[in-house]
Amino acid sequence: MKRLLIVLLIIGVVSVGFAADGTEQGFVLEEPVAVTSAGQSPGALQFTVVAKMVKLEYTFEKLLSVETVDISQFKTLVLVVGASGKGLGAANIDIEAEILRVKSLAEAAEKSGVKVVICNLEGESRRGPSSDRIVTELAPFADAYFVKSDADQDGFFTTFSEKAGVPLATFEKTVDLKDVLAEYFGK
């Protein structure tokens, strides 16, 4: 009986892991992809380096907004989260305006049936209060999370993923994101 319980427990844990783990459920993302920063750290630009590696069809704008783009022309919106005081300063935008910009984009994407991916590419270094706030504000729109594993040591992203029942894909090194992209975009 004890053994059975242990086996059932293990199966349960594995199932939860799969439930929050991407393409096991047949979840796929499509191109073209709109990429923008959510917080103006260099993460979004690093995302484009990986995107090039897997030959993803994407458009990147640091300050992409509903005023400048018709989001419905894309199939996927990737919001690369990372609040940077210097980046926000250089972009001449404050954190409130930045959150408003990316939330509006996510809302528009949801209305148009565009999948929204929240990505943390810079790991633990982008887990400050401002970055976490951005994630929290965007979470209701997320269809998937791509997260550098050291950013989720406390289960911050896992919690959002499990609550919403959307996949979470983690990767150890920045360059490993290419495997995630290849898998989700079928590259």
Partner 1 sequence: MKKVVLFVTLVVFAFTASFATVTAPTVASSNGMVAAVNNYAAEVGAKILEMGGNAVDAAIAVSFALGVVEPYASGLGGEGYAVITMADGRKFAIDFRSTAPMAASYEALSELGLTLSKANYTPRGACVPGVPAGIKEAWLLGATMPLKDLIQPAIDLARDGFIVDETFAQTTSDKYELVLENGFDFLNEGFVWEAGSVFTNPQLAETLERIKEEGIDTFYTGSLADEIEEFMIENDGFIRKSDLEMYRAIVREPLHGTYRGYDLYVPHPPVSGPQFIAVLNTLENYNLPAMSWDDPLAVHIIQQALVLGDVDRRAYISDPEFYDLPYEAFMSKEYAKTRFMAINLSQAFDPASYYDYQGNAYPFADGSSYEEVLLEALESVAANESGVEESPSTTHFSIVDKDGNAVAWTQTISSFFGTSVYFKGFFFNNEMYNFASSYREGDVINLTGGMRPRTTICPTIIQKDGKVRWVIGTPGGGRIISTMVQLAVDLIDFNMPVDQAIRTPKFVGYTTYKDLRIEEGYPQTTLDFLEKVLGHQLNVYSYPDLFFGGPNLVSVEENGLMIGAGSIRRLGSASAPEF
Residues engaged in binding partner 1 (CB under 8 A): 41-42, 45-46, 49, 84, 86, 122-123, 125, 174-175
C-beta of 146 vs 160, nearer to partner 1: 146
Tokens of residue 161, six digits: 């993923």
**Integer CA distances (angstroms), 129 to 146, 156, 158, in order:** 19, 12, 17
**Whole-angstrom Cα Rg for the chain:** 17
For residue 61, give Cα distances in angstroms to 15, 27, 77, 159: 37, 26, 11, 29
Nearer to partner 1, 107 or 179 (CB): 179
Distances (CA, A) of 179 to 48, 100, 131, 139, 167: 14, 31, 25, 23, 15
Query: Are the C-beta atoms of 46 and 84 separated by less than 8 Å?
Result: no
Structure tokens at 112: 């148009």
Rounded to the nearest whole angstrom, what is the least distance from the CB of residue 85 to partner 1 in the complex? 9
CA–CA separation, 85 vs 82, rounded Å? 10
Question: Minimal distance in Å, beta carbon 94 to partner 1?
Answer: 16
Residue 41 Cβ, how far from partner 1 at the closest point, in Å?
Answer: 7
Tell me the closest approach of the beta carbon of residue 180 to partner 1, in angstroms. 15
- Judged by CB, which is closer to partner 1: 24, or 94? 94
Nearer to partner 1, 104 or 125 (CB): 125
Smallest gap, in angstroms, from Cβ of residue 101 to partner 1? 19
